[in-house]
Amino acid sequence: MSDIEKQRGGGGSADWSRLLALHSVESATREIQRMLDSAGEAGAEQQMAAAADPVAEALEIWRAARDELTRMEQRLESRTRELGLLQDLGRKAAEAHTVSDLFRIAAETLQERLEVELVLTVRLDTGTPQVDCYQVRPVERTVLREIASESCSFIESSLPPDHSVGIHRLGSWDEKHWPMRSVREQDMIMLPIRRREETVACLTLVHSSPPGEARFRLLYGAANQLSTHVDRILTVQEAEQGRFRSILECMPQAVILADTGFLPVRVNPAGNELLECLGFAGGGRSVRRLDGLDLGAMADQVLKAGGRPADSEARLPDGRVFNVTASAVRGERGRIEGWVFVFTDFTESRRMQDQLSQAEKMSSLGQMISGVAHELNNPLASILGYAQLLQATAAAEGGDLSHRLKIMDQEARRCQKIVQNLLSFARRRDPERKPYSLNELVQSVISLMRYQLRMDNVEVVSETDPELPYLYGDAHQIQQALLNLVTNAHHAMKKGPGGQLSIRTVLLDGGEANLVVEDDGPGIPAAIRSKIFDPFFTTKDPGEGTGLGLSLVYSAITAHGGVVECEAAADGGARFVIRLPVGQPSDEEDAGGAGQVDEVPPAGRSSILVVDDEEPVARLLAEMLMSEGHQVQVASDGNEALDCLAQGGYDLVVTDYKMPGLGGKLLCDAIDEQYDGLKGRVLMTTGDTVSGEPEKAAGEAGVPLIHKPFDLEEFRSLVRRRLRGEDRSPA
């Protein structure tokens, strides 16, 4: 053992081995210096000589280990950067909802981390390659199309000559760079994006220098990640398309999806039915024009409106009306890829709208008629009343005066009947069941339509069975049904030179009332007779009918337990036959007493107050009452009537319902409060036969009500009953 070794405590080779474990030249130098210091100057040469070979060997081993460690650290750092890029790409790609968004994210991430100059993506979309280029420097168009063509061939597709390429600038865009005028094959990396064993897209990267093996490894890892996310996005889209197809199949609207050439791509069942109705069944036919609807023009409207949907209206040969909406189908880049046309059948809504519009017009017309009728009733009351008064005087004298007065009375009653007929259709009323005369309804409808029929050269022939008893039901509904039949016959005959309309009633052996309405017009074809009672079915031109007339006839007749049938008339016209059961009114509803005036003996001389703002009516009532021997005072309104009542007692008060100032209802209330027992001897008149207010007021006050124009005999009878304390009113 050497002296050095002895001084070291016999360490020998163990100390030299320790040198091999040192990690730097500085550490080894310091250790050698420490050994020399401990050996002393005398053994320095011997020590150095003995240590030369092991130190050199140790240093060489150390250097090799350090170089390997450096290489490992570099590889580890490179792999760490690769993993960081892939993690960053995966995190961002998970947020993408479309393939275009995914490729944009990939291009931005790869360019930022790898400093590529161009990223080009190409994928098949409905059979057509969609190309997008993400770049940081200008690229010549020929170079760009060359790269795009190479990328399309990678997915076994080709770029059409007129196909556009979407250009997108990345964040590090620099226009100061020289445009890329060429690209070498070794500078391009084409990454396949696969899904279910099929290449669905290609990602092409252009580098400024040929990439190495590490770059290839990194990019293929990125391609694998992109393939996973493409499969995720397309799977979601396919599921959504499946739901869309299910929804489309169930939609009641007709939907046609067409390409940019207006060839149908997808049509739901309602759309197929529509196309078949229009004669476009089968594929391969452009739908640019459907019958009279120009879908191409609607598409142009969408383009001019900046993409907003366009609406139009279409009417089919079978009468159905559709609202048509045209919208553009855009791809992920906003490019128009087709059109969607939605046809919504709003035939019923349109008819209902027309019906409501017509009902509103009729309501306004009814209000106008009501006002006119109210104004006519007062002068008619005066004309009828004076005609009757004069007739009684002239009857004794005879001659032409009596005949003329009789004509005046008849014509006034005719006016009265016309007003009543108008009001019967203008008045809103609840359905009611009571005895009515079918013969009288026939005459009222003929009277109402006589002028229009005569002007269109339509002759009316009526035959009513005098043995026909009263029926039981809603007279207004039956009258409306009869009017609809007459109106339809009139409409059919006025298109020609005229004709004859026959209306007959007869009592059948089975105890049914038979009503026949027959015309000699063009008739109703046998093919559509089964449909004429359907709601909204009409053969009239648009705007001339709602298709509800015969439906209302059917509803009214069947609601009364009757039957209505349509037949062909012997002379080619139309014949409607209605059978209604004969009613059996209760004891309280004495059908035979309708319209009759009971004979009531005079009540003796009485003091009567007549209150009416219409001076001719008030004077007429006064003269008639005075002819009965009564003492009569006239007041023009309710306030004047109260003044008269304060001055003296009256046995009867005859008041109009509607007057300026204090009306009949308030006058009755004042009489009830101030004059005990007099309210039981009040009689109310009115010319308002529509609103129902007078009836309500008279009912609340408990007084009889008589409508103007009234028959004088009817009025006399009512006055006599009231003076005798009898409350029954014929009103």
In terms of domains, do 680 and 620 share one?
yes
In terms of domains, do 110 and 53 share one?
no
For the residues 515-536, what does the mean pLDDT come to?
70
* pLDDT for residue 16: 46
> Which candidate, 311, 369, 381, 359, places its Cα nearest to that of 617?
381
Q: What's the whole-model pTM score?
A: 0.43
In terms of domains, do 188 and 308 share one?
no
DSSP assignment of 235-287: HHHHHHHHHHHHHHHH-SSEEEEEETT--EEEE-HHHHHHHHHTT--SSS---
**358 pLDDT exceeds 80?**
no
* pLDDT for residue 586: 47
* pLDDT for residue 595: 42
Q: Which residue has the tokens 């104004």?
A: 375
Q: How confident is the model at residue 530 (pLDDT cuts 50, 70, 90)?
A: low
Angle, CA of 427, 433 and 435, to the nearest 5°: 100
Q: Is residue 686 part of a domain?
A: yes
| Separation between Cα atoms, residue 707 and residue 684, nearest integer Å | 9
Q: Is residue 619 part of a domain?
A: yes
Radius of gyration of the chain (CA): 53
Q: Give the lowest-confidence range in 437-451, 536-550, 692-706.
A: 536-550
Q: Is residue 85 part of a domain?
A: no
Query: Model confidence over 143-159: pLDDT tens digits?
Result: 888 888 888 887 877 77
Q: Is residue 606 part of a domain?
A: yes
| Separation between Cα atoms, residue 191 and residue 221, nearest integer Å | 10
Q: Is residue 417 part of a domain?
A: no
* Count of beta carbons in the 10 Å neighbourhood of residue 84: 11
Percent pLDDT > 70 in the chain is 76
In terms of domains, do 254 and 234 share one?
no
**Higher pLDDT pick, 584 / 557:** 557
In terms of domains, do 569 and 692 share one?
no
Q: Which residue has the tokens 């006025």?
A: 494
For the residues 537-547, what does the mean pLDDT come to?
50
**18 pLDDT exceeds 60?**
no
Terminal C-alpha separation, the chain: 154
Q: Which residue has the tokens 């080009």?
A: 120
Question: How many domains does the chain contain in total?
Answer: 5
In terms of domains, do 30 and 103 share one?
no
In terms of domains, do 229 and 132 share one?
yes
**698 pLDDT exceeds 80?**
yes
Q: Is residue 350 part of a domain?
A: no
Q: Of the residues 558, 584, 610, which one is the last residue of a structural domain?
A: 584
**Higher pLDDT pick, 545 / 341:** 341
Q: Any residues with CB less than 8 A from the CB of 426 and at least 6 apart, and which? A: 365, 366, 367, 369, 370, 373, 690
Q: Give the lowest-confidence range in 84-88, 162-166, 451-455, 519-523.
A: 162-166
> Which candidate, 576, 399, 569, places its Cα nearest to that of 503?
576
**285 pLDDT exceeds 70?**
yes
Q: Is the dihedral of CA 29, 33, 36, 38 positive or negative?
A: negative
In this structure, are residues 95 and 133 in contact, taking their beta carbons and an 8 Å threshold? no
Average pLDDT across the chain, whole number: 77
Question: Side by side, which strands form the sheet with 118-125?
Answer: 166-169, 128-135, 118-125, 199-206, 188-194
Torsion angle defined by CA atoms of residues 191, 196, 197 and 200, in that order, rounded to the nearest 10 degrees: -40
Q: Is the dihedral of CA 635, 696, 382, 365 positive or negative?
A: positive
Q: Is the dihedral of CA 240, 245, 247, 251 positive or negative?
A: positive
In terms of domains, do 451 and 576 share one?
yes
Query: Model confidence over 601-656: pLDDT tens digits?
Result: 565 688 999 999 888 888 888 888 888 888 999 998 889 989 888 887 888 899 99
Residue 709 preceded by cis peptide, ω within 30: yes
Query: Model confidence over 251-275: pLDDT tens digits?
Result: 888 888 888 888 888 888 888 888 8
CATH code where residue 679 lies: 3.40.50.2300
In terms of domains, do 546 and 682 share one?
no
Greatest alpha-carbon pair distance for the chain in Å reads 187
For the residues 377-394, what does the mean pLDDT come to?
76
In terms of domains, do 575 and 606 share one?
no
Q: Of the residues 215, 239, 263, which one is the last residue of a structural domain?
A: 239
In this structure, are residues 258 and 265 in contact, taking their beta carbons and an 8 Å threshold? yes
| Separation between Cα atoms, residue 489 and residue 449, nearest integer Å | 11
Q: How far out from the chain centre does Cα 137 lie? A: 53
For the residues 321-335, what does the mean pLDDT come to?
81
In terms of domains, do 215 and 287 share one?
no
Q: What's phi and psi for 134, nearest 5 deg?
A: -110, 120
For the residues 167-180, what does the mean pLDDT come to?
74
Q: Which residue has the tokens 């059917």?
A: 554
For the residues 538-548, what does the mean pLDDT come to?
50
For the residues 478-482, what does the mean pLDDT come to?
84
Q: Which domain holds residue 442?
A: 429-584
Calculate the alpha carbon distances from 145 to 160, 168, 555 in Å.
Answer: 10, 15, 75
* pLDDT for residue 611: 92
**Higher pLDDT pick, 225 / 115:** 225
* pLDDT for residue 6: 40
Q: Any residues with CB less than 8 A from the CB of 155 and at least 6 apart, and which? A: 122, 123, 124, 129, 192, 199, 200, 201, 202
Q: Is residue 412 part of a domain?
A: no
* pLDDT for residue 46: 61
**167 pLDDT exceeds 60?**
yes
Amino acid identity at 331: G
598: DSSP letter? -
In this structure, are residues 155 and 191 in contact, taking their beta carbons and an 8 Å threshold? no
Q: Which residue has the tokens 């309405």?
A: 517
For the residues 314-330, what does the mean pLDDT come to?
82
Bridge partners of residue 517, in order along the sequence:
503, 576
Query: Model confidence over 86-111: pLDDT tens digits?
Result: 888 888 888 888 888 888 888 888 88
Q: Any residues with CB less than 8 A from the CB of 581 and at least 6 apart, and which? A: 471, 511, 512, 513, 560, 561, 562
In this structure, are residues 114 and 78 in contact, taking their beta carbons and an 8 Å threshold? no
* pLDDT for residue 3: 42
Q: What's phi and psi for 38, nearest 5 deg?
A: -75, -25
Q: How confident is the model at residue 427 (pLDDT cuts 50, 70, 90)?
A: low
Query: Model confidence over 61-83: pLDDT tens digits?
Result: 777 777 777 778 777 777 777 78
Q: Of the residues 345, 378, 401, which one is the last residue of a structural domain?
A: 345
Burial environment of residue 197 by CB neighbours within 10 A (0 to 12, 13 to 18, 19 or more): exposed
| Separation between Cα atoms, residue 215 and residue 116, nearest integer Å | 11
Q: How confident is the model at residue 31 (pLDDT cuts 50, 70, 90)?
A: low
* pLDDT for residue 534: 59
Amino acid identity at 697: A
Q: Is the dihedral of CA 605, 606, 607, 609 positive or negative?
A: negative
Calculate the alpha carbon distances from 288 to 129, 187, 299, 322 in Å.
Answer: 26, 48, 9, 17
Q: Is residue 498 part of a domain?
A: yes
> Which candidate, 289, 285, 347, places its Cα nearest to that of 316?
347
In terms of domains, do 270 and 193 share one?
no
In this structure, are residues 122 and 103 in contact, taking their beta carbons and an 8 Å threshold? no
Q: Which of 17-21, 435-439, 506-510 has the highest mean pLDDT?
A: 435-439
For the residues 502-522, what does the mean pLDDT come to?
86
Query: Model confidence over 49-58: pLDDT tens digits?
Result: 555 666 677 7
Q: Any residues with CB less than 8 A from the CB of 289 and at least 6 apart, and which? A: 295, 296
CATH code where residue 325 lies: 3.30.450.20
Q: Give the lowest-confidence range in 31-40, 126-135, 194-203.
A: 31-40
